[in-house]
């Protein structure tokens, strides 16, 4: 069986909200490096793209809909469009992964407590081994918690045996 890199919702609109993502440039650079490594070694890449619906910054056709150029899909890479937080809900992601013989997902992207969290949990529920890139996911501050706290919380929570948590430089495909 094989690994795949999954990049979640790294779309232009995520970088255009009035409130900035936590460490967007650093996180984006790590994701781009992972993508380059995956491509160089022939690891399958799955790009997840969120459609927030009409009027939403990430709505299909809106200026924020396209993938960020630093991690945009190359020809032949899978793109899964989703309407829900989980990349598995109402999509053919599971079917595509199984058809490709994928049993492990290396996950990075945005938004930590929403779509990244949902993808990790759903992937484990579907029987995949999951590696969350600890320094390869990001989010926004909330009225309750700072983004840095949300990211640290998820890394700590998931790192207690639910799935593998690994820094970008330590990812092995």
CATH label, 2-170, candidates 3.30.420.40, 3.40.50.80, 3.40.640.10, 3.40.50.850: 3.40.50.850
Predicted confidence at residue 104, as pLDDT, reads 98
Q: How deeply is 23 buried, as exposed, middle or buried, from its count of CB atoms within 10 A (0-12, 13-18, 19+)?
A: middle
> What residues act catalytically?
115
Number of Cβ within 10 Å of residue 18's Cβ equals: 5
Predicted confidence at residue 1, as pLDDT, reads 67
pLDDT surpasses 90 at 169: yes
pTM over 0.95: yes
SS3 121: helix
- Report pLDDT digits (tens) over 10-38: 999 999 988 999 999 999 999 999 999 99
Predicted confidence at residue 154, as pLDDT, reads 98
Predicted confidence at residue 159, as pLDDT, reads 93
Please give the mean pLDDT across all residues of the chain. 97
- Report pLDDT digits (tens) over 95-139: 999 999 999 999 999 999 999 999 999 999 999 999 999 999 999
- Report pLDDT digits (tens) over 38-93: 999 999 999 999 999 999 999 999 999 999 999 999 999 999 999 999 999 999 99
- Tokens of residue 82, six digits: 């989703």
- Tokens of residue 150, six digits: 């949300």
Residue 50, phi then psi, degrees to nearest 5 = -90, 130
């Amino acid at each position: 069986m094989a690994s795949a890199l999954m990049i979640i919702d790294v779309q232009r609109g995520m970088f255009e909200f009035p409130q900035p993502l936590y460490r967007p440039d650093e996180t984006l650079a790590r994701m781009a490096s992972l993508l380059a490594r995956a491509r160089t070694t022939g690891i399958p890449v799955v790009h997840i793209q969120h459609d927030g619906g009409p009027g939403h910054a990430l709505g299909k056709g809106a200026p924020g809909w396209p993938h960020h150029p630093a991690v945009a899909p190359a020809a032949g890479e899978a793109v899964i469009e989703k309407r829900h937080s989980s990349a598995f809900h109402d999509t053919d992601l599971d079917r595509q992964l199984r058809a490709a013989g994928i049993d492990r997902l290396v996950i990075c992207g945005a938004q930590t407590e929403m779509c990244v969290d949902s993808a990790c949990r759903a992937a484990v529920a579907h029987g995949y081994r999951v590696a969350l890139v600890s320094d390869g996911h990001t989010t926004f501050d909330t009225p309750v918690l700072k983004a840095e706290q949300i990211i640290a919380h998820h890394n700590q929570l998931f790192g207690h045996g639910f799935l593998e948590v690994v820094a970008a430089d330590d990812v092995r495909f």
